[in-house]
A and B are shown apart, each in its own frame.
Chain A
């Protein structure tokens, strides 16, 4: 059992390598979306597909939705060469019943996002994808009739391996629309922001595009068994692990210090280097100096200026949408004031004797999206302050800061 599970993991890692390839770090041939001059990417063709869906909306229930999907996608791709992202435009035709429902609750505009299930298939490759698209604000007509709503997004850049040589297909599946109707004042209506699930009407051809993956002698015979987790991938692919990719996030949140019964706001940033093959990351965490207000001895209001010094890189992983991280940092109290003005301690060397170890993770039930960000939470122990370095009340201050069960809650937002 253990052997099989490990094999599954290796296969998964290999699949990531196969698809991501060297894309992000390569310096050439990665420009944009298949316009003109990308000879080595192959001939581009306008892929177009109109799909009929049934979407469930609040108030009006299931309604038909017709979506015309257009994308400039090459008809031929070369292994080892990143394809670049392809822009996708989708024009949805919304029926009059939906228009009436929306106008009845006072809506005059509609905006939102689309998550489109897609599927990429090629020899040795069988990959579900989610393509995110944005729906810019569109007017909801006052006059009767169907109306159109545009969405746009981009496919991921893909790099194929020689094992993938042959015919590839991109299939479009179901959609999740996240919609916010607004009234003439720009306020949300009684429907708020809602999700509408759209199910493709059965019996349609859902293949958006068929293309050829060239090279490799074209004699690859790798077959795809019934399950992705048992796909056999030659072990040599593990040598093509790409360089880590960098993601940057702003962070904001707070930490509650139990011994001092007070909360400190936290701001800063994190630059994470993800190893795509394993999901592991090594990151540089920056926490801005902050000020915390506490009450010590039950009566003495204290303000502390706090700085953080990272004792090493932050490490962790992103697996199944769950981000974990482990940081070690010295916590320094540069100045401690009672009643807001009376210095009672602190100083440039007034810091924890050992680094505080802070382990954070995505809260249960949430997902971390490396593109957008997500929340992190955890608990940690604050070590005591270095004796004699925090002024004449230093030991007292240490007594009322050190201890376990401090909590931390952070929101990470991708830096643009």
Chain B
């Protein structure tokens, strides 16, 4: 009995029991047997460079794949992962090649549900690609991915279009993001090594840029990917109206995201060019962004900047504004239950435009559940960042309920 009152004794035994349990598998006598890390992608990794010309095929077909680390050690114990390059469709309706990572819980049944995961903003440089962050163990949404894997769901993470050594990310062009997310799910179904069936239920989730991707994918689903058995869409911090999101960011902490959005539209559309409007500071900023800037640097290096400080003439031309409008959400219904959530004082993705999207979906008859949060964050930007993690329990419950076939409760 006295053993129970002496934690260090229990600790001793516990360690040895654990060691003994692991002993047969651990094997060799090396000094740190569990430390071997899988090989990581080099920054100039040719895996991410699309072949020219693109191979023939349908959206979602896997162009190439390779095993990759699923995340930090704890996630690697939970799941196997593969980086994939797959066919998708750009804003103009032309085929493109997009990369992503497919994660499958160890021992998963072929009928495991698939969660299509749209990452939040990762940044304009190649090194920021979600697949590289995942493989490196530094993906900032790993807790949400792990939540899904722990429930036995496979996860298809898209990088979105344009992450390759000479990056041309088409940031915030929802029409491309939605396709990329839906086709990541198809790639998961078609990657033979993943061993997943093509007819299992699918939920899409994402926050911030990922929330936009999930909603776009939801709107595109009936016409673009009716083969996917979609049962729910969860999107938070959704940038639905890029004008309403962008304008308040001029001179604010989130200015880098505004400038990145302009760069993304430039990369996506041939009839838009940012270059003639930039001053020296603007050109330097863009070069720095595509060279080395990820999301943290978007905040730290570009926060507080202004459009006027980076340009000689307004880049907000009629053509660019037209593309911003084309990539606005709420024009079509989503035909499965939707969970949309937002920080009430979000200082990066304006609250009002998200509420307007909620109203639009409700008027279109979408089964829509709306939830707002007051995270108490010190700044509007931090409030936005807080919900990267702090709504996960609610999102997880929504995903579980959809996959369990429970009826959704609309708050419209």
A-to-B contact residues, CB < 8 Å? 8, 12, 15-16, 19-20, 23-25, 30, 32-33, 56-62, 84-85, 100-101, 104-106, 117, 119, 121, 126-132, 154-158, 171, 173-174, 176, 178, 183-185, 187-197, 199-200, 206, 224, 226-229, 245-248, 274, 276, 279, 318-321, 364-365, 367, 369-371, 414-416
Contacts and interface: CB of A to CB of B under 8 A. Distances in A.
B14 interface: yes
Contacts of B29: 121, 126, 224, 226-228
B351 to A, nearest CB: 17
Contact of B296 (A20, A101, A154, A369): A101
B27 A176 contact: no
A127 B18 CA distance: 11
A227 B28 contact: yes
A12 B11 contact: no
Among the interface residues B150, B385, B392, which one has the most CB atoms of the partner chain A within 10 A? B385
Contacts of B73: 176, 195, 197
Contacts of A59: 138, 140, 294-296
Contacts of B22: 128, 320-321
Contacts of A369: 14, 18
15 contacts: A20-B12, A24-B9, A24-B12, A58-B140, A104-B300, A129-B15, A129-B19, A173-B33, A192-B389, A195-B142, A197-B73, A197-B137, A227-B27, A279-B20, A371-B15
A370 B14 contact: yes
Interface string B1-43: 1011001111111111111111111111111111101000000
Nearest to A116: B32
Contacts of A101: 296
Nearest to A119: B31
B19 A130 contact: yes
Nearest to A126: B29
Contacts of B18: 130, 321, 369-370
B382 interface: yes
Given A24-B3, A371-B10, A321 B296 contact: no
A30 B2 CA distance: 13
Contacts of B387: 190
B130 to A, nearest CB: 12
Given A129-B19, A154-B8, 20 more contacts: A16-B17, A20-B16, A24-B12, A58-B140, A59-B296, A85-B9, A106-B379, A126-B29, A156-B16, A173-B31, A173-B33, A174-B34, A190-B389, A190-B390, A196-B137, A197-B72, A229-B24, A365-B107, A370-B10, A370-B14
A210 to B, nearest CB: 13
B240 to A, nearest CB: 21
A350 to B, nearest CB: 35
A104 B390 CA distance: 16
Among the interface residues B27, B138, B294, B382, which one has the most CB atoms of the partner chain A within 10 A? B138
B126 to A, nearest CB: 13
A171 B72 CA distance: 22
**Shortest 3 CB-CB distances between A and B: which pairs?**
A173-B32, A371-B14, A192-B389
B138 A318 contact: no
Contacts of A184: 378
Contact of A245 (B3, B26, B140, B295): B3
A85 B8 contact: yes
Contacts of B4: 246-248, 415
Given A130-B15, A192-B389, A171 B137 contact: no
B139 interface: yes
Contacts of A158: 12
Nearest to A195: B72
Nearest to A100: B300
Nearest to A83: B12
Contacts of B13: 20, 23-24, 156, 245, 247, 274, 276, 370
Contact of B74 (A84, A176, A228): A176
B21 A229 contact: no
A60 B27 contact: no
B376 interface: yes
A129 B14 CA distance: 10
B11 A85 contact: yes
B43 to A, nearest CB: 11
Given A320-B25, A415-B4, A274 B386 contact: no
Interface in B107-161: 107, 127, 133, 136-140, 142-143, 150
A63 to B, nearest CB: 10
